[in-house]
Structure 1
Amino acid sequence: MQEQGTAPFVDVPADVLARISHKRRVPVVVTVNGHTFRTTIAPMGGMLCLGFNKGNAAGAGIAAGDRIDVVMALDTQPRTIDVPAELAAALDADPRAKAAFDALSYSHRREWADHVREAKKPETRERRAGKAVVALREG
């Protein structure tokens, strides 16, 4: 396992990726040390990388420099987002922002949803949802 900045990752050999898909950005289901999660293999700095966010690295009990066994398979299931109620209501009230949100990649939709969901106070979630709608509408 390697690390660039604070992001641990595994360099996926091209021949391994070729057994799964012919694309360079490939959605996969990964299991490490019994911890299973969904992610995407993506090109980074001339390599094909399988990245681990902090939660998945902690869940698998791994850190940069560790030697790990990775089991992965092509992820063919649709990726859906649990949109917080505040964001869903704000998007429903603004068709243009909703269309922009729906056109985003899974990871960008998840980031907007997480940004609203992570607020502790209801009024903060409402404010964040409102700002998200403005940003999405204005592109």
Structure 2
Amino acid sequence: MTQDHIAFCGKIVQNGNINAAYIEFPFSTEEVYGKKGQVKIKVLFDNQIEYRGTLAKMKSNCHILGVTQEIRTKLGKSFGDEVWVKIWEDKEERIVEIPEDVQMVFNENVQAKEMFEAMSYTHRKEYIRWIVEAKKTETRENRKVKMIEMILAGKKGI
């Protein structure tokens, strides 16, 4: 990650009553990045955990940064805890690595492949992660079939 970052201490806030969390971005994205909407970013939490995400304004007074359960677990932190945050604007293209066996399925289903490629980075990443995280070969195969069905049905994410 390059210089030109913003650093601050943020509090991990629980989103409602669900197991989801965010940190409020204490600056104006318009002043910092020249953008009012979503801003793609790279983050370093507590100088140890890297993450690529988005600053988004979601029915809130300010932009927020989602903090996944995986990140909270790695940090050993929970709702209400403070975390040191360094943020860089992410200008790199976001590429989802597609495993060879999944690519073969897409080669047999051109329409699904085109629909998949038109999806956002996040939705593509979710589908591929869902398949890759299968513990059994049978589950992986079933998920590839299900993914094609879901994409063709217009479902954008898992």
TM-score (norm 1): 0.89
- Which runs of 5 or more residues in structure 2 are unaligned? 1-11
Match of 1:27?
Answer: 40
Separation in structure 2 between the aligned mates of residue 25 and residue 66 of structure 1, nearest angstrom? 25
**Does residue 1:3 correspond to 2:14, yes or no?**
yes
Within the candidate set 106, 113, 123, 2:128 is matched to 113
Q: Give the aligned length.
A: 139
Deviation larger for 96-105 or 64-73: 64-73
Deviation larger for 76-85 or 101-110: 76-85
Residue 51 of structure 1: SS of its match in structure 2?
Answer: strand
- Deviation of 1:56 after TM superposition, in Å, equals 1.7
CA contact (8 A) 1:86 1:125 kept: no
> Structure 2 matches for 1:1-139, cutoff 5 A?
1-4=12-15, 5-15=18-28, 18-34=31-47, 35-46=49-60, 47-139=62-154
- Which runs of 5 or more residues in structure 1 are unaligned? none
Q: Which has the higher helix share?
A: 1
- Deviation of 1:32 after TM superposition, in Å, equals 1.4
Separation in structure 1 between the aligned mates of residue 30 and residue 80 of structure 2, nearest angstrom? 22
CA contact (8 A) 1:87 1:126 kept: no
Distance 1:101 1:33, change over 3 A: same
Separation in structure 2 between the aligned mates of residue 8 and residue 78 of structure 1, nearest angstrom? 26
Alignment identity in percent?
Answer: 27
CA contact (8 A) 1:28 1:72 kept: yes
CA contact (8 A) 2:115 2:152 kept: yes
Give structure 1 regions of 4+ aligned residues with deviation exceeding 4 angstroms.
none
RMSD of equivalent CA atoms: 1.7
- Deviation of 1:21 after TM superposition, in Å, equals 3.7
TM-score (norm 2): 0.80
CA contact (8 A) 1:116 1:129 kept: yes
1:62-117 alpha-carbon deviations (Å, 9 max, x no partner): 32111222110100111111223332211111110000000010110011101111
CA contact (8 A) 2:29 2:63 kept: no
- Deviation of 1:14 after TM superposition, in Å, equals 4.6
